[in-house]
Structure 1
Amino acid sequence: MGPPGAGKGTQSNRVADRCRVPAISTGDIFRALQTADTPLAAQVRDTMAGGGYVDDDTTNAIVADRLAGTDCRHGFVLDGYPRTLPQVRTLDAMLAASGGPLDVVIALQTDEEELVHRLLRRGREQGRTDDTEGTIRTRLALYADQTAPLIAEYRQRGLLAEVDGLGPVDLVTHRINQALTALPS
């Protein structure tokens, strides 16, 4: 977990490759819905265009559906979920029903101005129309309000590994690998 632009997508894919499990990105799922012609897709498009988060019920349903996939039987890496305390409770229930515990939560620590710079560059390079300065700052404010409290929740549970998310991609990956290696078996 971490704010938008912290490198969650890049690093979750690397962790998933290392662990030989799928990386599940709610952001990727939501962006894929932007080209679909359904009421859900229209709702997601409108929310993302304004820089907001897709509501908990919709997000929970999409994640539950994805985690039911056979490729998730032996584990998965979540990127962008959960984002709110109610989503944490729903994930807890999903994991309890499947019998699989949450092993670790990696929190990428970053600098806000660096994030704005990264996301503006990503928007230009990838043609992502949702990466404008206004929507970026809205998403960062929403993260601080809604998602940052999850760090305290997971710290209290003893599941949090905080990692410096600044620097070259390979260095951040190395830091994450060190944090994962330090976990009790």
Structure 2
Amino acid sequence: MLNIALFGPPGAGKGTQSEFLLKQYNLFYISTGDILRKELAEETKLGLEAKSIIAKGGLVSDEIIVQIIEKTIKNNPDANGFLFDGFPRTFVQAYILEGLMIKLGTALDLLISVEVPQEESVKRLLLRGETSGRMDDNEEVIRNRLREYDEKTLPVLNFYKERGNYVSVNGLQSIKKVTTDIKKRINEVLRGKYLNIVLFGYPGSGRGSLGRAIAEKYKLEFISTGTMLDEEIEKGSETGKKVKELYENGRLVPDEIVIRLIEKKIEQSKNAKGFIFKGYPRTLVQSYILDGILKKHNSFINKIIEIDVDTLELIRRLDQRSKTAQRMPYDSSTEKIVKRLQEHKDKTLPVINKYKEVHDVAVIDGMASFDEVFNRISKVIESGFKTLD
């Protein structure tokens, strides 16, 4: 997920820059100005409350702003990220935004401040007022808004400077140059940002082979809990001995062991661009564990991908696999295959539904050749995280 706040005084051109960047980074646009005007046009309770404040050149109360933004976010649970324009305006709102990002299991990646001198802002807004007809585009109200900005909004910059995610851009440049500078900053963030993918699919859907191929293409670390457990057994480590004993007694491996293995893998993968998880999480509890592990490493899940394959095709594939060296214990009979598929449905589908509440779960048609499915997954990944040259 990529979250950006575009910052600057009235008349800085934030709206113009936002419109362009949305198309490049596949973000959902949250402009407090736009959503407030929408509330005004629909004459909602919040809109009527905001009307008198705007007319006087004041800032709309935090209570109103929070309610409108929360409403917007809840109506867009599949967003790949958010671009905030006009929020936060105050030091208090900076904390509010941080709280909203925590609720989403993410964080604000970058605050970009488009800087314009006060007299230039007045000039631009007066010109806009000649054609817009907006009640707040007159000199008295404009100067009042800029005074509000100086007194309340500028301290927000220090809030983000302390967190190391603030950059400034010269707003007196041409629109094209401002856009170029902003893109450069965002692309720097994206280049240093982990790409974390969870790959779902029933046994036989091709998760393993596809996951490894995707990991190689995008320089990700492939994390398969089953593979890691088998490696521990093969090494004869203390963990491996415990896992082997659990297997022999038909017991499940406790989450404590899996957590340590995942964290060890992440810590050892310093050069990885991110991680692709196969076979984990399998349960709701494990989904919360994975969120916590990634949060600990200042990272988050960026993409959820589910490979969809017809049930009869799954059974056919698993039956064929049972005759190869890649066979799994549950491939040995049709009864065991069906039991394993049912287990996936009962335990893992609720996990996918949980992720759908806060992520865009991309469902990929897996009823095709390996190369075709691989290309479909690649397009989904690249559509969400493309950058400009």
Asked whether the two chains share a fold, i.e. TM above 0.5, the reply is yes
Partners of 2:94 and 2:159 within 8 A in 1: no
**Counterpart check, 1:80 vs 2:80:** no
Give the drift of 1:23. Answer: 1.5
The correspondence for 1:20, drawn from 26, 43, 46, is 26
CA distance in 2, matches of 1:72, 1:166: 36
| Structure 2 spans left out of the alignment, 5+ residues | 1-6, 194-389
Q: State the secondary structure of the residue aligned to 2:42.
A: coil
Structural mapping, 1:114-153, within 5 Å: 114-153=120-159
**Counterpart check, 1:34 vs 2:40:** yes
Aligned length: 185
When structure 1 is superposed on structure 2, of 71-80 and 146-155 the one drifting more is 71-80
Partner amino acid, structure 1, of 2:122: V
Cα-to-partner distance string for 1:2-59 (whole Å, 9 max, x where unaligned): 1111111111222222101122100111122223333322221100000001000110
Q: In the alignment, what sits opposite 2:345?
A: none
Larger RCO (alpha carbons 8 Å, 6+ apart): 1
When structure 1 is superposed on structure 2, of 88-97 and 139-148 the one drifting more is 88-97
Q: CA RMSD in A?
A: 1.4
Query: Which is higher, the Rg of structure 1 or of structure 2?
Result: 2
Distance 1:173 1:129, change over 3 A: same
Partner amino acid, structure 2, of 1:45: K
Q: In the alignment, what sits opposite 2:170?
A: 164
Instruction: Give TM-score, length-normalised by structure 1.
Output: 0.94
When structure 1 is superposed on structure 2, of 131-140 and 24-33 the one drifting more is 24-33
CA distance in 1, matches of 2:104, 2:40: 30
Question: 4+ residue runs of structure 1 moved beyond 6 angstroms?
Answer: none
Partner amino acid, structure 2, of 1:87: Q
Query: What percentage of aligned pairs have identical amino acids?
Result: 37
Cα-to-partner distance string for 1:98-130 (whole Å, 9 max, x where unaligned): 101111000111111110011111111222221
Structure with the higher strand share, 1 or 2: 2
Instruction: Give TM-score, length-normalised by structure 2.
Output: 0.46
The correspondence for 1:52, drawn from 54, 58, 62, is 58
Give the drift of 1:166. Answer: 1.1
Give the drift of 1:159. Answer: 0.7
CA distance in 2, matches of 1:37, 1:153: 35
Q: State the secondary structure of the residue aligned to 1:143.
A: helix
Cα-to-partner distance string for 1:69-98 (whole Å, 9 max, x where unaligned): 336531010000111122111111111111
Q: State the secondary structure of the residue aligned to 1:129.
A: coil
CA distance in 1, matches of 2:147, 2:40: 23
CA distance in 2, matches of 1:32, 1:172: 28
Partners of 2:30 and 2:83 within 8 A in 1: yes
Partner amino acid, structure 2, of 1:126: S
Q: State the secondary structure of the residue aligned to 2:135.
A: coil
